[in-house]
Chain A
Amino acid sequence: MSNTIFSLTYGDKGSFQDGPVPAEIRVPLAGHDTKTVKKKAEVAPGTLIADHKNAKTGNMHAGIAGVVTEVTADCIVIAAQEPSAEAAPASVDAVDVSALSGDALTTALKALGVDVRPLIKKCDTLIINGLNPEPGITFAEALLGQYKSTLEAGLALLKKLSPAGKMVLACAEGSAASLSGCTNAPIKPVYPNSLTEMVIAKVSGSEKSSGYRVLPLHTLFNLGLVAETGLPLTKTVVSVQGVSYLVTIGTPASAVLQHAGHAIADGDSIIIGGPMRGLATADLLRGVDKDTEGLFLIKKGTFAPVTNHQCISCGECVLHCPSRIMPNLISRYVEFNDYDSCVKESIDACMECGLCAFYCPARRPMMQLIRLGKHQIALKEAQVSACALQGEEGAA
């Protein structure tokens, strides 16, 4: 069973379908402090609506023509509306990013809504992760096939930005995909091989290698869209239950799912991201973000609910763990707040693939417990270093 469900090859399913024409979009914000629009302001596709004070975090833009109906700390709501004749906001001009370089390019990309930080991170080798990130997300083959020109456009910009001396395309074994200037590194397309740690280990041949960074194909595609059009990033590819759509950023999850023909009923779960690591949202209107790779609807009763049953020590998690740690032991340590023992059992080696909880017959929330443990350990370390700093100040 595991091999079929965790296979990451789906074949090239052709060009992406168009996402819904939303009646309302909710553009999610992540710390974008400076809202450049007010309530009732009219916007056109591509109008800047929120600026981030960090010079490398992408700005947010309206994806549709409409009027702003609500501005909150974490989203801007725009209702679709035909632009009125007299006060129509100016449509946005395309920027020729391919002519720019250096800081000018960074600034231009930020203004176009691209997160520049992952592109300029220090590394010797940049690996472009050409595998589907999680089971059920299916756009990788199509991106490397039909949308190769978009990826190449993004890659041309990436080469100017990234300090990496070498670029590698990690692709599925037997795949004919290639990108100019990248050497291919075939990887067996089975989850969790698509995770950053695993990709680096497979490409470099060692689990202890440094100087490697992994860039998701999704990010490169977003960059490519901006590079090709010169317009702000307002659409991205989202794999909806295995079918890929080009969706306007901010489109509510429920609208996308309904457009794809999935009816949502009471007690269903909507998963944003992948089914193994993604987030279950309680909000039907939660908007699609720039880095949303997948949307999944899990019908009520498909899987047994998570319980707080005690660990029965069956060892399934230990046998399936790609990090070779003992999730059963660690999850129990977390339950008893014994974080020192968690560190001793190498909780930090966990790459959060979710296989432990997938195989747990007691349906324990293993990955959640491990994430909680990591979080608590980080908090504790932050406190310790803060105390140390205070001590130094006192001594000085």
Chain B
Amino acid sequence: MSIEALPTAPFLAVGAAPHYHCGTSIKGMMRNILIALAPAVIGALYWYGMEAARVMALAVATAVVVETLATKAMHREVMVDDMHAVVSGLLFSFLLPAGAPWWLVITGTAVTMLMGKMLFGELGGSPVVGPAVGWAFCRVSWPLFVDPNAMMLNTEMVNPLTQLKYFGVAQASQFGLPALLSGNQLGALGAAQVGALLIGGIYLVVRGTIRWQIPAGFVIGVLGLGGLYYAMDPTMYANPVFHLLTGSTMLAAFFLMTDSTSSPNGCVSRLVYGLVGGLLVVLIRTYGKYPDGVMFAVLLANMVSPLVDMIKPKPFGAR
């Protein structure tokens, strides 16, 4: 029956109240995150050139393809156009050294998407943040190929975290603030662009895509415990700001810890969750086997997330 044939044309659309909406969308959130990651992408291209472009492009393409195939195999609606796969792929590539071999990028991205997202259904099911899962998988399976020191032999840049781990605080203190912020340090291709990531993170907080509580808690955790160690013995332990500006700390603070699915929801619980992550970073770096323990700290904090979500105010009428 055509619409014109009905006496009550035009046809009205109906929906559930509320009928207004603030206009945000998952796609919009992902677009904002990509905009926020853009300075770091530029930084990675500047320091590592086409090598970095190769890894980032391969990771993003793999993530999109893997998600599409996985949703097809699960007989679900393909929702790859929400750009979450692009963000996951790019974030995973940020954790790799620029010289990572192609098979490592593809395997790691596939694990990121499959075990960090698709295993739990569509976006929203995963209790852990995908890129950290992919990185942990690669780090345990092929430690050498994920290590920037081993993969980046043709560079003059130095990894501040291995300097700290194996040569002590004196060697670590040679890095100045401008060098660390501008990305003049050897590390994972995106995670090392500390200043660029900070700009992007602030952009996300201003745009309201992420809330300030998790990054604030994370930074306070790193500075707090790092500061405590530093106060105890400055010749043994590094300056807390050094911890903040090296490795993947900044990437985790603004982009991985704040992953919506695996982080808690309340204001206080977010602060606590960030704090736990920050404390774990310093603990793992101080006592752990890994020079940069940020991803393990993120994964462990993810495990705490449902617990800290139990910190919530009393409902209306109960106080």
Contacts and interface: CB of A to CB of B under 8 A. Distances in A.
Given A275-B19, A358-B20, A282 B265 contact: no
Interface residues of A, number: 65
Contacts of A270: 12
Contacts of A268: 10, 12-13
A322 interface: yes
B265 A328 contact: yes
Contacts of A269: 12-15, 19
Given A276-B18, A312-B26, A208 B12 contact: no
A266 B16 contact: no
B315 A324 contact: yes
Nearest to B120: A310
Contact of A310 (B13, B19, B125, B317): B125
A363 B8 CA distance: 29
Interface in A266-311: 266-271, 275-285, 296, 298, 300, 303-306, 309-311
A313 B16 contact: no
Contact of B260 (A303, A309, A314): A314
Given A306-B15, A358-B22, A326 B122 contact: no
B124 A362 contact: yes
B121 interface: yes
B9 interface: yes
Nearest to A352: B17
Contacts of A306: 15-16
A207 B316 contact: yes
A93 B230 CA distance: 91
A318 B266 contact: yes
B11 A266 contact: yes
Given A306-B16, A318-B266, A197 B21 contact: no
B43 to A, nearest CB: 28
A8 to B, nearest CB: 14
A88 interface: no
A363 B313 CA distance: 25
Contact of B316 (A296, A298, A351, A368): A351
B211 A319 contact: yes
Interface in A1-56: 1-2, 5
B26 A361 contact: yes
A325 interface: yes
Interface of B: 3, 8-26, 28-29, 79, 121-125, 211, 260-267, 270, 312-319
10 contacts: A208-B317, A267-B12, A277-B17, A278-B19, A280-B12, A303-B20, A306-B15, A312-B123, A354-B17, A357-B18
Q: Which 8 A-B pairs have the closest CB atoms?
A: A315-B265, A354-B18, A368-B16, A349-B315, A346-B315, A323-B316, A310-B124, A314-B260
